[in-house]
Amino acid sequence: MTVRVNRRYGTVADYQQRLRQVGLAADFIPEATDALRLATPVGVQQLPEFDQGHVSVQDAAAQLAGAYLQRHACVGGRLLDACAAPGGKTAHALELGSFSQVVALDQDALRLQRVAQTLTRLGFDDSSIQLQAVDASEVTQWWDGQAFDAVLLDAPCSGTGVIRRHPDIKLLRRDSDLATLVGLQALLMDRLWTTLKPGGFMLYATCSILKTENEQQVVAFLERTHDALLLEDTRQILPGENDMDGFFYAPLRKQT
């Protein structure tokens, strides 16, 4: 079980000590600097100050999105989280304090309500956050024309990187689903790219381990998008690597 410490309330070392006080052992995860891995999973109500927003449950691989945003996004800019639910990455971006405003979209209104509940628990007010229950690909329906400094696209995918948590994926997914998902991912990348400022940063992410959704998707995007630059090598995390879920990241810059 991995948690993300909300640095607005203290350091990761502080929270590790707080866990020790209630008899819970946890270790640091070097590449996920806000993370602690508990030796024994527990219910969230056993986590000190969970209700007060000091900590959230989130896999370390998902937390790496925050590291990419810190490394490449403009401090003080506007962030679009295009497929935000369940809200862990939205919350982490706000906790990092790197953005003046975060716009979070999800086409599932019920799931977006849960994002709002999470942000309230973590102590965020409405002044820096906009939540919209919309289809992110229908840009003309929700975008006001003000370009974003950064776009986080945690795209709908096959979920093959999280089968250890959701084994039913193997039973429910069909071959035809993959082609539909790959087409949707490409559509989202193309349309959301238009909302990004020149010089802006897009992080493309999936919880998939399939090349068609990951490396091949990014190569195809770069071939058809003349102003897109891959900032560093893509990162494919395999399930179980350092006890993380399977995840993929591609950091992209919109050239001026």
Q: What is the CATH number of the domain that holds 31?
A: 3.30.70.1170
Verify that 112 and 49 share a domain, yes or no.
Answer: no
Verify that 154 and 245 share a domain, yes or no.
Answer: yes
Verify that 48 and 113 share a domain, yes or no.
Answer: no
- Rounded-to-integer distance, Cα 254 and Cα 149, Å: 10
Verify that 92 and 14 share a domain, yes or no.
Answer: no
Which whole number is the average pLDDT over 204-231?
Answer: 98
Question: Is 85 annotated in some ligand binding site?
Answer: yes
Domain count across the chain: 2
- Domain extent at residue 27: 2-57
Beta bridge partners of 146: none
Q: What is the pLDDT of residues 127-139, one digit of tens each?
A: 789 999 999 999 9
Instruction: Determine the Cα angle at 239 with ends 247 and 32, to 5°.
Output: 60
CATH number at residue 109: 3.40.50.150
Give the strand pairing for 77-81 and 148-154. Answer: parallel
pLDDT of amino acid 166? 67
- Name the pLDDT band for 177 (thresholds 50, 70, 90): confident
Question: Is 86 annotated in some ligand binding site?
Answer: yes
Verify that 47 and 115 share a domain, yes or no.
Answer: no
Q: Would you name the residues annotated as active-site residues?
A: 207
Question: Is 190 annotated in some ligand binding site?
Answer: no
Question: Is 154 annotated in some ligand binding site?
Answer: yes
Q: What is the pLDDT of residues 2-58, one digit of tens each?
A: 999 999 999 999 999 999 999 999 999 999 999 999 999 999 999 999 999 999 999
Containing H/E element for 72? helix 60-72
DSSP assignment letter at 136 = T
Residue that wins the pLDDT comparison between 42 and 167: 42
DSSP assignment letter at 173 = -
- Rounded-to-integer distance, Cα 125 and Cα 119, Å: 8
pLDDT of amino acid 169? 65
Verify that 17 and 121 share a domain, yes or no.
Answer: no
